[in-house]
């Protein structure tokens, strides 16, 4: 009897290993807070977000487990199952060998579909593999992996190193382009879609500002459906993958904030577009034969004026103004004539080591003085040198997230934490807009929905992390996790 049971279990296990979805669709909604799912629920149609929620599985306590919470990092972490400490994408911009670098910048490649510098992009600065890379490896590169977004980084980083293609919008012409990292000529289906896009009067009128219009999500959806058909995704011998990121929600959020007609319109139109995408998947791949996950790269703070008007603690923060005070503080004590801070990005300070050496200053002393000055700022609650994180007085949660977000040589020298509700003002946000980047729940609590192939309906409030998405997908596919993966499979979904 025991032997029969064991044989039965073995047979079941073997059968389950042979079952796989025909297509995996990863969806990232840029700057989407988790609470938007409930805020707009009654206004959603039955075919978009509601379908994912009511037929799929929702992880209601999915958190970003590193700092800073930034677009390029979020997209990379979703698909690699790890954080900047391992995948090396430390922001939209960061430093490599002392040079400020855009996350996807690659001067060795050229644009395809345009002569713009907007096409000089690739995933080469990313140090780890993605879900798509592992899928391609597992099938001896028989699987197709495609990335699509308005933003280059939101198409390139999710798709991975070995992707068949990544496509993003060239705002100079409002058409989709790629780079010679992937191909030398756009496929005919992309050229055909671009011709159609060139006749879209609303899109062409929006021009460089198309990210501020919900139509940006609509044409991203149209491009995803065109890829689905043009590449015959989900119709081959192996599981394919389509990575789609909707970025208009981020552009609109920075400009208009978390409240108001513009943000409302963006999410309600996105809901309709998701419905169209799911319908296209049903038609081509077959209902129940594809796996979808939907998440966000980060959330967003409420506009500080909105908060203050409602008697809630919040305020603007200016790193550049703080820098001037720090420089004066250090110069008063050391007598230096040149600055000692080279840059400030995402609540991190980069010391100007060349200037410090040139002036004959002691680097450790300078660092100590800079940290001392930062701690005296009235709206700063913690500050420490990254090298001292392990022994710092930072609470364990902040210390762990800061360590997970730190890559030596890329992440700067000093990290600081501002009061809850305070955020960097003026760089990415308008007077009525907002931004993100911090550890707080408004930036770090994101949606995480799974839907489709072998996903049962349900929900959990157990804490899971953005880095758990990749190993969950990989376990469902029975493929190896990305090579720097630190997340864990979400057992409620993989059971």
Catalytic residues: 71
- Taking alpha carbons only, the member of 141, 123, 134 closest to residue 483 is 134
3-state secondary structure of 309: helix
Q: Distance between CA atoms of 286 and 22, rounded to whole angstroms? A: 9
Q: Distance between CA atoms of 232 and 236, rounded to whole angstroms? A: 8
What is the biggest distance separating any 2 CA atoms in the chain, rounded to whole angstroms? Answer: 85
Q: Is the dihedral of CA 438, 439, 442, 447 positive or negative?
A: positive
Contact 426, 344 (CB under 8 A): no
Q: Distance between CA atoms of 98 and 62, rounded to whole angstroms? A: 35
- Write the DSSP string, 405-452: T--TTTS-SEEEEEPTTEEE-SSS--TT-----SSSHHHHEE-EEEEE
Cβ atoms within 10 A of the Cβ of 331, count?
A: 15
Contact 30, 246 (CB under 8 A): yes
Contact 458, 54 (CB under 8 A): no
Spatial neighbors of 448 by CB under 8 A, at least 6 apart, are 58, 59, 62, 293, 294, 295, 464, 466, 469
Contact 442, 299 (CB under 8 A): yes
């Amino acid at each position: 009897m025991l032997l029969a049971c064991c044989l039965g279990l073995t047979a079941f296990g073997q059968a389950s290993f042979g079952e796989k979805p025909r297509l995996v669709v990863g969806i990232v909604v840029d700057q989407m807070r988790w609470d938007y799912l409930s805020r707009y629920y009654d206004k959603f149609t039955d075919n978009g977000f509601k379908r994912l929620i009511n037929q799929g599985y929702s992880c209601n306590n999915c958190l970003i487990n590193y700092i800073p919470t930034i677009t390029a990092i979020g997209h990379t972490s979703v698909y690699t199952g790890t954080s900047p400490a391992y995948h090396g994408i430390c922001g939209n911009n960061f430093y490599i060998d002392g040079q400020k670098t855009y996350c996807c910048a690659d001067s060795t490649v050229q644009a395809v579909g345009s002569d713009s510098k907007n096409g000089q992009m690739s995933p080469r600065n990313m140090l780890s593999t993605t879900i798509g890379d592992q899928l391609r490896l597992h099938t001896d590169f028989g699987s197709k992996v495609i990335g699509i977004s308005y933003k280059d980084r939101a198409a390139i980083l999710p798709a991975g190193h070995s992707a068949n293609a990544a496509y993003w919008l060239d705002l100079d012409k409002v058409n989709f382009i790629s780079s010679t990292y992937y191909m030398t000529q756009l496929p005919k289906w992309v050229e055909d879609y671009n011709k159609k896009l060139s006749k879209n009067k609303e899109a062409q009128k929006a021009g460089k500002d198309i990210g501020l219009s919900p139509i940006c999500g609509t044409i991203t959806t149209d491009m995803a459906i065109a890829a689905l058909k043009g590449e015959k995704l989900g119709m081959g011998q192996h599981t394919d993958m389509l990575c789609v990121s909707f970025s208009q929600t981020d552009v609109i959020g920075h400009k208009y904030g978390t409240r108001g007609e513009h943000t409302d319109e963006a999410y309600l139109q996105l809901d309709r577009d998701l419905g169209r995408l799911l319908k296209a998947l049903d038609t081509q791949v077959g209902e129940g034969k594809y796996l979808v996950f939907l998440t966000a790269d980060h959330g967003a703070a409420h506009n500080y004026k909105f908060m203050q008007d409602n008697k809630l603690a919040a305020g603007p923060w200016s790193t550049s103004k703080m820098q001037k005070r720090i420089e004066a503080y250090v110069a008063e004590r050391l007598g230096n004539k040149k600055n000692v801070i080279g840059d400030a990005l995402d609540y991190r300070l980069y010391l100007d080591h060349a200037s410090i050496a040139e002036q004959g200053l002691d680097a450790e002393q300078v660092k100590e003085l800079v940290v001392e000055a930062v701690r005296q700022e009235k709206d700063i609650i913690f500050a420490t040198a990254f090298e001292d994180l392990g022994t710092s007085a930072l609470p364990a949660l902040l210390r762990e997230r800061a360590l997970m977000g730190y890559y030596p040589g890329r992440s700067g020298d000093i990290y600081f934490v501002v009061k809850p509700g305070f955020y960097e003002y003026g760089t990415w946000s308008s007077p009525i807009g907002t931004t993100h980047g911090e550890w707080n729940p408004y930036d770090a609590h994101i949606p995480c929905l799974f839907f489709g192939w072998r996903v049962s309906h349900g929900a959990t409030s157990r804490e899971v992390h953005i880095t758990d998405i990749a190993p969950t997908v990989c376990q469902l596919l029975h493929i190896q996790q990305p090579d720097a993966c630190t997340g864990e499979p979400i057992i409620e979904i993989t059971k």
